[in-house]
């Protein structure tokens, strides 16, 4: 089984390399494979003869995208379309990732895979168009919609919080956007399990929500991290460092959904999985973050 992972230096791309170890796997970074290059897409198939391609590349700079519309669409829509069309022509399974930002966040309750999308940002729209391109290509695919991704790689919310807290800096954190923090390790581990199952049953192809279980605001997320620090016996007044603010008081360039909660019923039922609560992976992340910091 020949598997190619694209975007190997990203959060999910890095984690995928730990989950897909025992198989015939090649992982490529942007210098080895640029998804916006037609030639690179063609060469991918002649050079590696893959049976499965896992696309972890993406333009993910949500605020910057509002001013880089063409680039966001080039990577997230046109590049994905070229890749998906080539997967269809070569009968290759495409695994692709999308986002909660395809929704406007106005729904009460969890979004299922059947809910209508209404992206409010350039990034969200470009990712939705990428999804549509995969579906239109006719290739066999798994699309995983995920949310609030973090890992030791890259820039993300819990890394920023850890850095600031450990430096004793005060923080303002949004308390009216809700979702499920999801570790890149979880995404990679679940991707591996789903790909294995799909080998026995190609009918499992399709769109799935893939996040950790549970719901929290960004502020609640930061509070949980503080509780973990306090449980370790650290005496500082961490809670005094964070202030809850509304989205209106914490202006960002791109609009973010207030409700990013994705229903996990489909992935759990179809693949026989039980997704873990988000708190579990956050604790692991914090432990690893401190180990990495102490080692440098
Ligand atoms: N991060 C989140 O909170 C979040 C939430 C929901 C969904 N998602 C989705 O989850 C997936 C993985 O996200 P992530 O957090 O792992 O993203 P990431 O850390 O930003 O990684 C994206 C990777 O794509 C690469 N890339 C960008 N443009 C490229 C191009 N033209 N050709 C080839 N590679 C290119 C980047 O290369 P460089 O390393 O060279 O920059 C980077 O390694 C994406 O589909 C994203 O939309 C993410």
**CA-closest residue to ligand 1 atom 26:** 57
Residues labelled catalytic: 123
The residue among 23 and 47 whose pLDDT is bigger is 47
Non-local CB neighbours of 270 within 8 Å, separated by 6+ positions:
204, 208
Work out which ligand 1 atom sits closest to the CA atom of 35.
32
Q: Quote the distance between the C-alpha of residue 15 and its chain's center.
A: 11
Global pTM value: 0.97
195-245 pLDDT, tens digit per residue, is 999 989 999 999 999 999 999 999 999 999 999 888 877 657 788 899 999
**Closest listed residue to residue 138, CA positions, set 182, 202, 185, 88:** 88
Ligand 1 pocket check: which of 6, 9, 10 to mutate, most ligand atoms within 8 Å of Cβ? 10
Please give the structure tokens belonging to residue 125: 């729209």
**CA-closest residue to ligand 1 atom 39:** 9
Contact predicate 52/195, CB 8 Å: yes
pLDDT of the residue at 109: 97
Rounded distance from Cα 59 to ligand 1 centre (Å): 6
Please tell me the distance from the alpha carbon of residue 88 to that of residue 142, in angstroms, as a whole number.
13
Classified as helix, coil or strand, 33 is: coil
Q: Which of 87-101, 225-239, 256-270 has the lowest mean pLDDT?
A: 225-239
Could you name the CATH architecture of 2-155+181-213+256-276?
3-Layer(aba) Sandwich (3.40)
Name all residues whose Cβ lies below 6 A of ligand 1. Answer: 7, 9-13, 30, 33-36, 56-60, 75, 97, 99, 127, 146-149, 154
HSE at residue 10, side-chain half, CA atoms within 13 A, is: 24
Rounded distance from Cα 236 to ligand 1 centre (Å): 35
**Banded model confidence at residue 1, pLDDT cuts 50, 70, 90:** low
**Closest listed residue to residue 176, CA positions, set 148, 119, 226, 216:** 216
Cα dihedral 41, 189, 230, 232 sign:
negative
124-148 pLDDT, tens digit per residue, is 999 999 999 999 999 999 999 999 9
**Banded model confidence at residue 294, pLDDT cuts 50, 70, 90:** confident
The Cα angle at residue 72 between residues 67 and 75, in degrees rounded to 5? 160
Q: Where are the alpha helices (DSSP H) in the chain?
A: 11-19, 38-48, 62-65, 69-73, 80-90, 122-137, 157-166, 184-200, 218-231, 265-271, 278-295
pLDDT of the residue at 192: 97
Contact predicate 177/260, CB 8 Å: yes
């Amino acid at each position: 089984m020949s598997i190619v992972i694209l975007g190997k230096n990203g959060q999910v791309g890095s984690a995928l390399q730990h989950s897909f170890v025992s198989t015939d796997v090649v992982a490529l970074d942007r210098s080895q494979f640029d998804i916006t290059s037609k030639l690179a897409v063609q060469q991918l198939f002649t050079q590696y003869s893959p049976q499965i391609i896992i696309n972890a590349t993406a333009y993910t700079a949500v605020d910057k995208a509002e001013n880089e519309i063409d680039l966001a669409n080039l990577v997230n829509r046109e590049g994905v379309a070229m890749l998906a069309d080539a997967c269809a022509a070569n009968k290759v399974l495409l695994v692709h990732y999308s986002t909660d930002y395809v929704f406007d966040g106005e729904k009460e309750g969890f979004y299922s895979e059947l809910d209508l999308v209404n992206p409010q940002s350039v990034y969200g729209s470009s990712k939705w168009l990428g999804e549509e391109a995969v579906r239109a290509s006719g290739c066999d695919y798994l699309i995983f919609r995920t949310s609030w991704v973090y890992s030791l790689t890259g820039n993300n919310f819990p890394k920023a919080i850890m850095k600031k807290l450990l430096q004793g800096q005060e923080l303002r954190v949004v308390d009216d956007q809700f979702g499920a923090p999801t570790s890149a390790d979880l995404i990679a581990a679940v991707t591996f399990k789903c790909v294995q199952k799909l080998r026995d049953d190609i009918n499992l192809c399709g769109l799935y929500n893939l996040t950790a279980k549970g719901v929290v605001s960004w502020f609640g997320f930061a509070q949980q991290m503080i509780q973990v620090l306090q449980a370790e016996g650290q005496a500082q007044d961490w809670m005094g460092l964070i202030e809850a603010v509304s989205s209106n008081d914490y202006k960002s360039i791109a609009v973010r959904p207030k409700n990013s909660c994705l229903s996990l019923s489909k992935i759990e039922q179809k693949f026989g999985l039980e997704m873990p609560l988000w708190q579990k992976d956050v604790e692991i992340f914090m432990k690893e973050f401190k180990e990495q910091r102490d080692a440098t």
